[in-house]
Structure 1
Amino acid sequence: MKHDIKIDVQKCIGCRQCIKDCPEQNIRLIQNKAQIQSQDCMKCGHCVAICPQNAVTMTGFDQDPIQCDQKEMDPKELLYTIQTNRSVRQFQKKEIPNDVIQDLLEAARYMPTARNMRDVELILLQKEREQAEKIAVHLFRKLLKGLNLFSKRYREFLIDDHFFFKKAPLVIVVVGKDKTNAVLAASAMALMAKAHGLGVLYSGFFTLAAHTSIKLKRMLKIPKGKKVQTTLVIGYPSIKYARGVQREALHVQSR
């Protein structure tokens, strides 16, 4: 959808805040009023967000910008949430309410993307979840036969019918051109899922299957120029971890 930036000169007070904050240097002050030089910019919306007079607007959206009340987040609570987060592979037989799913999607929607590409698309596997997993299982069982010839480790490796999705009620396939953008969206959804008491598994195996299987590509209807970047398996955990994961010290250089 086309987005145009508009400045109400009656409201503009010439404070220059939008000029200072524009990453593309696309705004000039003319006769003490801000003016957009070109509509051919990344449409990041910083000019809309920073204007103290609400003089800058952008067309083509289905809702107005969210008003920021500068509510502070507790950094210790956030760090604790990250430190105690674990991948979940055991899920309850419990459906996820639609309003909770909507929160996950909103979290992905509002994450930033490089140059405001907005290239991320989400595929929710619910009704077709079993069919997609069946295709992936068939593929990996064939691959496993080949691995058995070269490594003893895989000779007792079991790929059951629920190897990929672990009977979880929701799978979100994250599609995009840029992997970083997709991972940012996935991370936001995973954090929101945690806030709703959900468990998440990043299924690298299914992502690999989606890259390999022509059947899966056809079923998922991946848009041209994009590919599956990551896959989230989501549901209510049937287990509870008593401790967080241990990590080695992070290697940090200061130069």
Structure 2
Amino acid sequence: MGDCFDCGHCLAICPTESISLNVFKDQSNPVEDYDPCEIPVNSEDFLQFLKQRRSIRWFKKKKIDKKTFGKLFEAAYYSPSAQNAQDVEFVVLDEKLDDFMHLVYDIISAEEDKFFRIKQFGEYLRGKCDNKKHPLLWEGHQMILSFSKSQANALIANTRLELLAYTMGLGGFYSLFTLKADEINHDKLMEFFPEIDSDKHMYSAFVIGYPRVRYRRTVPHKKIDVYFK
């Protein structure tokens, strides 16, 4: 059918397993059966998990290996996307993280007069900052970038990856100033990533690692306004 975009819902719901999708026949990930009446996590446990989620900026020196990253990206693999686009691509920055951050500063320095944090970032790179911690990375040594034509697709995929990370003893935080590089000069930013479709934008920059601190209690949040109409 010309209007089919291979969402797989027909395959997932077929009671006789009579449907398959040719576009995915060479994929290594098999289709898995499960009990539709059984949810592996109850609502209270999951809500408590969300309550305990915290942004982590203080990390151990231990780095995440490729096998662990592979497990994290399984969460993104199962992430939904509009029209089943599955167009999210990721970059793990490790050895080239410093080079990337210098590029980021070259771009976002255009707004140095607007934001103290960007000015501090420049002073840090020039060795003139009193703060010994990296103003954008803090103690982070690795970063995951997500690219997509859809901001929603990228953020949903990275959020799923992030939540799985917390179950694996990892943690991290979103670097919003890093994202400014894409907003200010997308073309210059994408020169660093020739393997990524330049029509895609960097919508998530997640600094990740092994937490050096443990939080013991939740933090209050502002009330959420909800309207029913």
* TM-score in terms of structure 1 length: 0.76
- Percent of aligned pairs sharing the same letter: 29
Paired residue for 1:91? Answer: 59
For structure 2, the residue ranges without an aligned partner over 5 or more in a row are 126-133
Deviation string, structure 1 residues 94-132 (Cα, Å, up to 9, x no partner) = 111322211211101111111111121111112211110
Of 45-54 and 67-76, more deviation after overlay is shown by: 67-76
| Structure 1 equivalent of residue 20 of structure 2 | 57
C-alpha change, 1:176 and 1:164, in structure 2 (3 Å) is: same
Q: 2:158 aligns with which of 180, 183, 186?
A: 186
SS in 1 for 2:114: helix
How far 1:60 moved relative to its partner?
3.0
> Is residue 2:42 matched to residue 1:74?
yes
Deviation at 1:215, TM superposition (A): 4.2
Q: CA RMSD in A?
A: 2.2
The structural deviation recorded for 1:134 is 1.9
Is this contact kept in 1: 2:60–2:212, CA < 8 A? yes
TM-aligned CA distance change 1:178 to 1:141, over 3 Å: closer
How far off its partner does 1:212 sit? 2.6
2:70 match? 102
Q: Deviations over 1:48-76 (max 9, x none)?
A: 00111110111232132122233431221
The reply to whether residue 245 of structure 1 matches residue 207 of structure 2 is no
CA distance in 2, matches of 1:71, 1:147: 48
Bigger shift: 118-127 or 45-54? 118-127
Tell me, what secondary structure is at the counterpart of 1:123? Answer: strand
Structure 1 residue runs of 5 or longer lacking an equivalent are 1-37, 149-153
Q: Residue 30 of structure 1 aligns with which residue?
A: none
User: Matches of 2:200 and 2:118 in 1, distance apart?
Assistant: 36
Equivalences for 1:1-255 in 2 at 5 Å? 38-61=1-24, 62=27, 63-69=29-35, 70-141=38-109, 143-144=111-112, 146-147=113-114, 154=116, 158-159=120-121, 160-161=124-125, 162-213=134-185, 214-221=187-194, 222-255=196-229
- 3-state SS of 1:216 partner: helix
Q: Give the TM-score of the pair, scaled to structure 2.
A: 0.84
Q: How far apart in 2 are the matches of 1:147 and 1:205?
A: 12
Task: Report SS of the residue matched to 1:220.
Answer: coil
Report SS of the residue matched to 1:229. Answer: strand
Aligned-partner residue type, residue 218 of structure 2? G
Secondary structure class of the residue paired with 2:147 = strand
AA paired with 1:218?
Answer: E
Q: Name which one, 1 or 2, has greater alpha-carbon Rg.
A: 1
Supply the distance in 1 between the matched residues of 2:69 and 2:180 (Cα, whole angstroms): 25
**In structure 2, what residue type is equivalent to 1:106?**
E
1:7-47 Cα shifts (integer Å, max 9, x gaps): xxxxxxxxxxxxxxxxxxxxxxxxxxxxxxx1541111011
Whose strand fraction is larger, Structure 1's or Structure 2's? 1
Of 229-238 and 214-223, deviating more is 214-223
